[in-house]
Amino acid sequence: MAIRIDGKAISAEIRAELKEKTEAFAAARGYRPGLAVIIVGEDPASQVYVRNKKRACEEVGFYSRGYELPASTSQKELLALIDTLNADPAIHGILVQLPLPKHLDESEVLLRIDPKKDVDAFHPYNVGKIMIGDYRFLPCTPAGVMALLERTGIEIAGKKCVVVGRSNIVGKPMAMLLLHANGTVTVCHSRTKELSSVTREADILVVAIGRADFITADMVKPGAVVIDVGMNRRADGKLTGDVDFASVEPIASAITPVPGGVGPMTITMLLQNTLTAASV
Ligand code: NDP
């Protein structure tokens, strides 16, 4: 039976460390790391994420500010707010909750955030820095996966790593971080032929596709480490991952559950990025 990688416990451990570092930071500098979170419109899932981010900031002793803008906000108004926050010395990290309403140009908005305050690491400048391995911020979800592997004592160097999914926010940066950690990395996507023959090669399998229970035991090498990034809602409202946990757990050596695996790490990494941004 696999070790269950407990994202809740590891996240709590990192947050406790961040709280300590924040107190030391505040004592030395006389101010606290500050995060501004902007949400446009009333998407209920986004509202929950934003609330959780604000609560997490309070937990570790950050200063946080929330901007809840109406869905009718214009591009000009949103860019003006970002300009104001870019110039605000009390704010070290700026996060624009995605997705934005359709009439807004997401790329232009992300480009406007000062790369030094881009704690989501979505600005092309930071994306480029990740590519060359000289980065200040890592995108939160892949960074969370790396922290889980590291704190579980899982060696990456020399391992065959397979990432299923190639999105800009998870799959691609995930592959890059595993490569920087000296894994031998293969990236799969919807056009990959004979997917299961590729996934069966993996010593470390990271799945981020958004399809409930898609990876079954026959697609996994016995003894593999399986990281499930997926978050899917079942018809009964329950959260489930991209990996069929019940069939894969008995053959994996370590596995993340959903919920309680990668999920709790994402906001923790956002906090870490905000402290990093404030520390320069
Ligand atoms: P995207 O929809 O942006 O990307 C999905 C990727 O999966 C694409 O690259 C797609 O391939 C690939 N894919 C889809 N179907 C298949 C298939 N049948 N076989 C192989 N590859 C496939 O999703 P995200 O990366 O944003 O998110 C992925 C999952 O992770 C979601 O469940 C999301 O909710 C979750 N997530 C969880 C987070 C957390 O904090 N735990 C944070 C972010 C996301 P192609 O490029 O060819 O279309």
Residue 192 and residue 93 share a domain: no
- Ligand 1 pocket, Cβ-based, cut-off 6 angstroms: 141, 164-167, 169-171, 188-192, 195, 208-211, 229-232, 262-263, 266
Which amino acid residue places its CA nearest to atom 19 of ligand 1? 190
Which amino acid residue places its CA nearest to atom 24 of ligand 1? 167
| 280 domain residue, yes or no | no
Q: Is 221 a residue of the active site?
A: no
Pocket test for ligand 1, best of 48, 190, 233 (most atoms within 8 A of CB): 190
Question: Three-state SS string across 88-149, please?
Answer: CCCCCEEEECCCCCCCCCHHHHHHHCCHHHCCCCCCHHHHHHHHHCCCCCCCHHHHHHHHHH
Which amino acid residue places its CA nearest to atom 47 of ligand 1? 190
Q: Is 97 a residue of the active site?
A: yes
pLDDT band at 280 (very low <50, low <70, confident <90, very high): confident
| 212 domain residue, yes or no | yes
| 13 domain residue, yes or no | no
Considering only CA atoms, which of 124, 118, 154 is closest in space to residue 137? 118
Which amino acid residue places its CA nearest to atom 8 of ligand 1? 165
CA distance 107 to 96: 11
pLDDT band at 156 (very low <50, low <70, confident <90, very high): very high
AA identity, residue 261: G
Q: Is 120 a residue of the active site?
A: yes
| 124 domain residue, yes or no | no
Compute, in angstroms, the gap from residue 165 CA to the centroid of ligand 1: 5
Tens digit of pLDDT for each residue in 88-111?
999 999 999 999 999 999 999 999
pLDDT in the model for residue 49:
87
| 43 domain residue, yes or no | yes
- Structural domains in the chain (count): 2
- Max CA pair span of the chain: 57
- Asked if the model's pLDDT at residue 223 lies above 90, the reply is yes
| 2 domain residue, yes or no | no
Compute, in angstroms, the gap from residue 209 CA to the centroid of ligand 1: 3
Tens digit of pLDDT for each residue in 118-144?
999 999 999 999 999 999 899 999 999
CATH number at residue 217: 3.40.50.720
| 208 domain residue, yes or no | yes
Residue 254 and residue 215 share a domain: yes
Tens digit of pLDDT for each residue in 168-216?
999 999 999 999 999 999 999 999 999 999 999 999 999 999 999 999 9
Tens digit of pLDDT for each residue in 13-66?
999 999 999 999 999 999 999 999 999 999 888 888 889 999 999 999 999 999
Domain boundary among 114, 130, 163: 114
Tens digit of pLDDT for each residue in 185-195?
999 999 999 99
- Asked if the model's pLDDT at residue 1 lies above 90, the reply is no
Tens digit of pLDDT for each residue in 66-88?
999 999 999 999 999 999 999 99
CATH number at residue 84: 3.40.50.10860
Q: Which structural domain, as residue segments, surrounds residue 238? A: 140-263
Considering only CA atoms, which of 40, 39, 44 is closest in space to residue 54? 39
Compute, in angstroms, the gap from residue 199 CA to the centroid of ligand 1: 16
Residue 241 and residue 167 share a domain: yes
Mean residue pLDDT across the chain: 97
Q: Atom of ligand 1 at shortest distance to CA of 170?
A: 25
Catalytic residue of the set 6, 118, 120, 203: 120
Q: What is the pTM of this model?
A: 0.97
pLDDT in the model for residue 231:
95
